[in-house]
Amino acid sequence: MELIGSALQQALAPCHECGKVAKIPLDQARNEKNAADVVLPSWQDSLHCPRCGKEVHVRKTNAISRTWALVLLGFGVFVISHVYPVLTMTQLGQGSVSKTIVGGVLTLIDDGFWGIGAILFFASFIIPLIKLLGLAWILLAVKFPSFSSNRRMLGKMYRFIKWIGRWSMLDIFVLTIWASLIQMGGLATVEAEIGSSAFGILVIITMIAVATFDPRLIWDKRR
Amino acid sequence: MGFLSASAGLKASRITRQLPFVACEHCDALFRDVSVPYSHDLRCPRCEAVIFQNREHSLQREYALVITGLLLFFPAIFLPLVSISPVGRDIDASIVQGVVILFEQGHPMVAALVLFCAIFIPFFKLLTLFFVLSSIGMKRFKKSALNLFLWYRRLDEWSMLEVYMLGVLLCINNLDGMSLDMNPRFGLGFWVFAALMLVAVLASVSLNVAYVWERLERLVRL
């Protein structure tokens, strides 16, 4: 096994969809070799994957600006989803209380449900925050190499963010089960509120943001 | 079902794989003359991500898992997962019920998200995998199989059965500890759902994506 530079330098590009390594026109590769801190252009209709037929791009199209846009949007939605209540609980004879995510977690902890409170807090507050901050960190590091030079760490961070992302849906699922059980219970009702929609959108945005970024940009030569 | 026999080539042979070139999908490093021994994962020396797996895998076992998953699917989403009985009345909740109630409460966004992540996409994944494996076995419908497998890969991480499972467990735990005498217990649906989750996760994890792509490529060339 012998390292022979990057695939791009050898005029090869793995297909984003199926992973098949395709030959790319040499002059194209040479032009783009040193232009990695800007968004790499892609051939519009010239090159298709020999296996799956999808367009082959050297790097995902406009990865950096698209990911930035989604991350910034994500921060906004993160604030919205934690400011507005996610649920309203109405108990017979006790009126109704609206709770934000963090408020709900605090109530759980007050009631002695430490474990559940901690898991929900982690899944719906810490994980989205880690994802957004982590992506912003990686994007800054790609733009300013002096910001963070440990590329292997950045790559691992990206893979960790990608892996952990789906678990932030936990809050939505718990709310769904609660709402259907307690609704039927008669003694009390749990109703979803606008914050839950915002949180759902946040999960979608962050997952798409992770998928839009191209981890190979971390390793490209910088100008 | 003759196409399921080993002679149809659904089983991988246990050999060391010799690869002229491997490109790391995570850091774009290119390696020449790579050999991966049987039951080994190749890690990229530069970024430490797994870039090639020469693992034990068999499309027959995959097929068995997928069929099991499809059989378990409808009971798992319609049967009650959790039951409570406050004031002596029995109340239970299933996945589908949760979606319907969120929709009725005026949150189509959240309802749709649960519908997709916990019902549609897991089902779609099982169905496409069934189609792709059948297609490889029968050597027919190869173009559609290739396109469906593309979608399988795209939607892979949006299937969240195991996250839902954790949600159910948290709910039960919470209701159990509440002072109200709810008497929460697992419904039949819970056990079916648990089995479905195990089968689906196992099918997803044990699937050798690169191998399926190779098979599809060979089929399309024929």
Asked if residue A212 lies in contact with residue A60, where contact means CB atoms within 8 angstroms, the answer is yes
Longest dimension (CA), chain A: 76
CA B103 to chain centre: 26
Please report the residues numbered 21 through 40 in chain B whose beta carbons come closer than 8 angstroms to any beta carbon of chain A: 21, 23-35
CB proximity B167 to A under 8 Å: yes
Asked if residue B103 lies in contact with residue A180, where contact means CB atoms within 8 angstroms, the answer is no
The chain B residue lying nearest A16, using CA atoms, is B25
Helix, coil or strand: residue B215: helix
The chain A residue lying nearest B95, using CA atoms, is A177
Counting Cα atoms < 13 Å in the Cβ hemisphere of A117 gives 13
CA distance B184 to chain A (A): 10
| Rounded average pLDDT over B159-173 | 90
B167 interaction partners in chain A (CB closer than 8 Å)? 170, 173-174, 176-177
Among B28, B102, B148, B180, most A C-beta atoms within 10 A, so best to mutate, is B28
Q: Which of A78, A75, A209, A208 is nearest to A139 (CA)?
A: A209
Which residue in A17, A162, A187 is closest to B150 by CB distance? A17
Q: Is the pLDDT of residue B29 over 70?
A: yes
pLDDT of residue B9: 46
Report strand pairing: A2-6 vs B29-36. antiparallel
End-to-end CA distance of chain A: 29
Counting Cα atoms < 13 Å in the Cβ hemisphere of B100 gives 11
ipTM metric: 0.86
The reported pTM is 0.87
pLDDT of residue A18: 85
Q: What is the C-alpha separation between B196 and B77, in angstroms, rounded?
A: 10
* CB-CB under 8 Å, B30 with A197: no
Share of chain A above pLDDT 90, in %: 42
Among B65-79, B138-152, B208-222, which is the least confidently predicted range? B208-222
Q: Residues 6 or more apart from B58 whose CB is under 8 A from it?
A: B10, B11, B12
* CB-CB under 8 Å, A179 with B98: yes
Q: What is the C-alpha separation between B121 and B152, in angstroms, rounded?
A: 9
